[in-house]
Each structure stands twice: as C-alpha cells, then as structure tokens.
C-alpha cells in the first residue's frame, strides 16, 4: 500500500490556514449498512489518539494549523483552543460563550477569524480577540481566506458573507435570468477556493455553487441530491466534495461526478486533499478513509467510533477532531494494523515462607518487519489478588554486620534484549525505565516501542489480598495494547487450578487427639 505523506494544507497558497466546518446535528439515524471500519482494507494505521493535558468534552467543529507550533480549533459552547507545538489548550476569549463556533481560519499567525451560530464572527488581531459586526444572524459553517485578506463565510439559508479588509457585507447566489433572478436559500456548509477568482461552495440537497471572481452561481448539473457537507479544492479544474450517506463527488474540470462509496451508511463531514493522489475524509461514527490516487481506502476506526468534523494539516503534522473533545494525531508512515508478536507468560516462584508472592514472567518478541508503536502491557488482576511492590531493603548499619542476611524480594521489572533473526531469543537484557500503575482493576505498564526482532520481558509479582475471596480457577489474561487497541493476547496462564483442599492431620497425645487443617494449594 502506498505510504501517505500529507505535506501540505488545503488552500495553503491562499492563506495561513482555512478550517473545515461542521454540520450538525449528526445524521443519519438509519445507518444500517456494513461498517467499513470493521473490515478496513488498509493494513496501516495513520491516526492515533492524542490525549490532551487538560481534557475537554465539548465537540470540536473547526480546526486549522498555521505552522508546526501554532494552530487553532473551535467548537460548541464557545470553545476555543490553541495548539502550542506540544498540546491543545483551551483559551478563554470572553466572547460568544453561549454560541457554537463552527469554523476557524487564519491569514497568518497574527490574524484570523472564528464564526458560528447567530452570525457571530470573532476576529483575532495581534493577540487580541474582538467581535466583528456581523450582517447576518444565520449559522456560519465554513470560512475561506485569500492572500489579499479577502475572507468568505458561508452558512444557513444561503448566507454568503465577505470581508473587504474593513467590514463584512452580504452577497447572494442567484439562478434564473438577470430580469428574474432567483436567490439560492439552501444551507451552504462548505467553501473552498483555488485562487482569488475561482472556487466552489456546497450545501443542502446537492447544492453546488461556482465562483468566477465576480459572482456565485449554481452549478446546474449536480450529480446528487444528498446534503454536501465539505469541499476541498485543488485547482480550478479539480475538486472533491463529500456528504450524507457516504456521498463522494469530484470535479474533473468540466463536470462533477459521483464516486462509488463503501460508506453509504454513514455521513461524511470533512475532506482534505493535498494533491490528486493524497487525501483524507472523515465523518460519522469514526469513519476515516484515505485516497491513494485511484480509490478511497477504509481506515481502521478508533475503538470509541467518535464522529469527526475537522481535519487539518501543516506539512507532515496533522490532527483530526470531533465529538467529546476527541483529537487524533497523524502518524507519518503509520504503524501496522496487525503485529506479529510472540507473547506468552509463565509462573515462576510461588508463595513460600521466604516470600508471600507469586512471580510471573511475560515475554514478548516482535516478529514483524516494522517497529511497533508505544505498547502497554495490561494485566487484569484477578479477584482476591493485588499487585505486589517489595519495600526497599534498608542499608545495614555497623551494628547489623553480624546479623544473618535476609534475601530481598525481586523488584518487578521490564527488561529488553535484542534478538538476531534465526536465533533463540535471550531472556536477559538491560532495564527499561518506567513503572506500572493500576487502572480500572488492571496493572498497566508502558513498555515503549519494540523494534524488529526485539524481545522484552516483564516480571510481575502478585500477592493474596486480605479480606477478598478468590474465584477459582485463577486465570491470568494479559494483553498488549497500543492507543487503547489490543494488538495481541497472551495465552491464558493458570495461577491456581482449583480451590485449596484441607488435609486433616492427627496429632496424638496422652490425653487427646486434635485435627489440624492444612491448606494444600494446587498451583500450575
């Protein structure tokens, strides 16, 4: 499969960044087709969950990247966020807190706009946000900015607004004749320009509008009557648009044509094309796909199947965002969707008079030809047990020198060893930094990436938990995960096969006999 390197941003020749807008509410309600994400034909994953330092729950509707250290996003309930090169942080602008912001675009680092419900328009200028006087009360869904500082906004009921560098004005798209013009009143959801004198806008009921440098007019031969939610314009002879029920159409310089789609059960909300062989679309329930120059290829869906409204790129940096404040980050080159990892566990030491714990060793070996992403070792702790962390052994004082030394318990470790292909893996290696934590009843240990033919060993100690009854048999089910996605499960390991039996021992004396119960565990 072709390796995708998205090295540009839609409309970059026009301005710093032009954000995609969202169309709400999310539809359709009757999505009943086969989910392409469950049978994605891509064997590479390019998008991974991007955790925020301060998580949010509001939906992200629009996003743009100015450079690798500066980007902006907007969303519901007055949400504004800024990217600082490391993470996305919520910004309090003090304006439009009860509005849903739908789109964001920037001319450069010093100037940009955000727009949304009730015609609200926010203007960023040299670090300060102010509210512009808007000539409209419609929902403003999408923005486009030219190098000459001309700004366009489109929205509900045919709203088209333009900024001349000083103030905002309203223009209309019309059909019919000059004597009897008919104003277009369909909702317009997205706008894209190839230059200052050529562009497209798309909207409800398959509406397609063409800009010729002077006016907006309907393109009469739309190949669809479905809602079109996003357009990406590469040039005056090439453009793409997506919409409801998996609709995908493209412009070849003369006509718009409908493409076959494997996503007919899902609305598509955003599309971004770098060139005629690199592009991404996203939409309802985690639908993601890329274009390789010949066809759209289904991408593995995130486990949460969050709907995505916006995609933004600056060179090889890319983000996707949508519902519940979810962000994904683009991984240049991607990682394999499936790894060939040998993963097994063995029971080592059992509890004895010297120590109270079970010792388990898990070994993993990357047998695939590519380095994995960051992997977490996850072990659900069975009922009646808890993870054991030995206490530090005190340093002996001179007074203790004659004391009998006590063997220290081994510290839980993760070790690493390189393995030459075709040889027997070693079980030894240098230490890997990091410690395990408990999360939702599971021991979780970040063990990092694993290169080709590399082995890692994880030693875990378990001890009986006081006051909690065990459930037999005690079986351990460890797994390896990356980005909350399980990539391999270890063969289940039986710690204790059955409930311990009590054996009676008769103790004789001159006056009486006593029955003493003795626990006889049956570990395997």
Q: Given pLDDT bands bounded at 50, 70 and 90, which one contains residue 520?
A: very low
Check residue 392 and give its pLDDT.
60
Measuring CA to CA, which residue among 34, 24, 29, 11 is closest to residue 229?
Answer: 24
Tell me the torsion sign for CA atoms 161, 164, 169, 174: negative
Domain segments of the chain: what residues?
Answer: 17-22+34-336, 341-391+409-496
Check residue 12 and give its pLDDT.
39
CA distance 149 to 130: 17
Average pLDDT for residues 10-20, to the nearest whole number?
57
Question: Got the DSSP string for 102-130?
Answer: EEEEEEETTEEEEEEGGG-EEEEETTEEE
CA distance 328 to 320: 5
| % of the chain surpassing 70 pLDDT | 79
Lowest mean pLDDT among 227-231, 330-334, 404-408, 471-475: 404-408
The model's pLDDT over 125-149, given as tens digits with 9 standing for 90+, comes to 999 999 999 999 999 999 999 988 9
- For 42-187, where are the E strands, in sequence order? 44-49, 60-67, 70-75, 79-83, 88-90, 101-108, 111-116, 121-125, 128-131, 140-145, 151-155, 160-163, 168-171, 174-176, 181-183
Let me know: does 25 contact 284? Beta carbons within 8 Å: no
Measuring CA to CA, which residue among 150, 205, 152, 120 is closest to residue 19?
Answer: 152
* Homologous superfamily of domain range 17-22+34-336: YVTN repeat-like/Quinoprotein amine dehydrogenase (2.130.10.10)
Q: Which residues pair with 260 in a beta bridge?
A: none
Stated pTM of the model: 0.68
Q: SS3 for 3-23, per residue?
A: CCCCCCCCCCCCCCEECCCCC
Question: Which CATH code for domain 341-391+409-496?
Answer: 2.60.40.2430
Q: Given pLDDT bands bounded at 50, 70 and 90, which one contains residue 117?
A: very high
Residue whose structure tokens are 């602008």: 93
Measuring CA to CA, which residue among 81, 72, 20 is closest to residue 52?
Answer: 81
The model's pLDDT over 249-286, given as tens digits with 9 standing for 90+, comes to 999 999 999 998 888 889 999 999 988 899 999 999 99
The model's pLDDT over 326-359, given as tens digits with 9 standing for 90+, comes to 999 998 888 777 678 899 999 998 999 888 999 9
Q: Do domains 17-22+34-336 and 341-391+409-496 have the same CATH topology?
A: no
Q: Given pLDDT bands bounded at 50, 70 and 90, which one contains residue 27?
A: very low
CA distance 459 to 476: 14
Q: Above 80 in pLDDT, residue 220?
A: yes
Measuring CA to CA, which residue among 451, 449, 452, 382 is closest to residue 422?
Answer: 452
| Neighbour count for residue 315 (Cβ, 10 Å) | 15
Q: Above 90 in pLDDT, residue 512?
A: no
First to last CA, the chain: 45
């Amino acid at each position: 499969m072709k390796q995708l390197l998205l090295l540009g941003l839609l409309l970059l020749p026009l301005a710093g960044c032009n954000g995609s807008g969202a169309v709400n509410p999310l539809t359709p309600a009757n999505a009943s087709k086969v989910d392409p994400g469950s049978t994605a034909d891509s064997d590479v994953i390019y998008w991974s969950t991007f955790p925020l330092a301060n998580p949010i729950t509001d939906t992200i509707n629009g996003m743009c990247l100015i450079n690798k250290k500066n980007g902006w996003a907007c969303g519901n309930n007055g949400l504004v966020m800024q990217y600082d090169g490391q993470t996305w942080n919520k910004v309090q602008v003090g304006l439009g807190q009860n509005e849903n912001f739908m789109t964001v675009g920037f001319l450069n680092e010093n100037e940009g706009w955000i727009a949304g419900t009730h015609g609200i328009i926010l203007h960023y200028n040299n670090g300060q946000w102010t509210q512009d006087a808007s000539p409209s009360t419609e929902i403003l869904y999408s923005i486009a900015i030219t190098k000459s500082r001309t700004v366009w906004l489109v929205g509900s009921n045919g709203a088209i607004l333009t900024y001349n560098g000083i103030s905002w004005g309203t223009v209309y798209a019309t059909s019919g004749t000059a004597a009897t013009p008919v104003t277009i009143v369909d909702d317009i959801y997205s706008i894209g320009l190839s230059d200052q004198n050529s562009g497209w806008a798309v909207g409800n009921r398959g509406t397609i509008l063409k800009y010729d440098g002077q006016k907006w007019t309907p393109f009469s031969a739309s190949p669809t009557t479905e809602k079109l939610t996003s357009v990406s314009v590469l040039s005056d002879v090439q453009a793409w648009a997506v919409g409801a029920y998996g609709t995908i159409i493209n412009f070849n310089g003369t006509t718009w044509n409908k493409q076959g789609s494997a996503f007919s059960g899902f609305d598509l909300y955003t599309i971004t094309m770098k060139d005629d062989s690199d592009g991404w679309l996203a939409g309802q329930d985690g639908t993601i796909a890329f274009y390789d120059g010949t066809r759209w290829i289904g991408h593995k869906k995130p486990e949460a199947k969050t709907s995505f409204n916006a995609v933004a790129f600056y060179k090889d940096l890319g983000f996707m965002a949508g519902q519940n404040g979810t962000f994904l980050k683009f991984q240049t080159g991607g990682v394999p969707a499936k790894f060939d990892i040998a993963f097994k566990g063995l029971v080592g030491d059992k509890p004895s008079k010297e120590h109270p714990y079970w010792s388990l060793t898990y070994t993993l070996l990357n047998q695939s030809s590519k380095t994995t992403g960051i992997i977490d070792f996850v072990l659900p702790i069975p009922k009646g047990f808890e993870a054991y962390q030995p206490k530090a052994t005190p340093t002996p004082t001179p007074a203790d020198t004659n004391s009998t030394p006590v063997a220290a318990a081994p510290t839980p470790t993760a070790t690493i060893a390189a393995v030459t292909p075709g040889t027997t893996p070693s079980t030894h290696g240098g230490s890997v930094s990091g410690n395990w934590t408990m999360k939702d009843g599971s021991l979780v240990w970040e063990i990092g990436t694993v290169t080709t033919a590399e082995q890692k060993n994880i030693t875990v100690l378990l001890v009986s938990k006081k006051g909690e009854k065990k459930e037999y048999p005690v079986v351990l089910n460890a797994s390896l995960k990356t980005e909350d996605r399980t990539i391999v499960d270890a063969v289940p390991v039986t710690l204790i096969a059955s409930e311990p039996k009590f054996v009676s021992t008769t103790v004789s004396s001159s006056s009486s006999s006593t029955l003493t119960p003795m626990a006889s565990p049956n570990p395997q």
